[in-house]
Amino acid sequence: MPETDDRQRLLVTVLCGLLLFNYPLLLLASRDGLIFGVPVLYLYLFGVWLLLIVGVRFWVQRLSGAATASQDNDPRA
Residues 26-49 have pLDDT tens digits of: 999 998 999 999 999 999 999 999
CB 10 within 8 A of CB 60: yes
Q: How many structural domains are present in the chain?
A: 1
Has residue 6 been placed in a domain?
A: yes
Has residue 34 been placed in a domain?
A: yes
CA distance 68 to 45: 34
Has residue 42 been placed in a domain?
A: yes
What is the model's pLDDT at position 19?
95
CA distance 74 to 1: 16
What is the model's pLDDT at position 71?
63
Has residue 76 been placed in a domain?
A: no
Which domain covers residue 57, as residue numbers? Answer: 2-66
pLDDT band at residue 2 using 50, 70 and 90 as cut-offs:
low
Has residue 61 been placed in a domain?
A: yes
Stated pTM of the model:
0.75
Has residue 74 been placed in a domain?
A: no
Has residue 55 been placed in a domain?
A: yes
Has residue 25 been placed in a domain?
A: yes
- Residue 38's SS3 state is strand
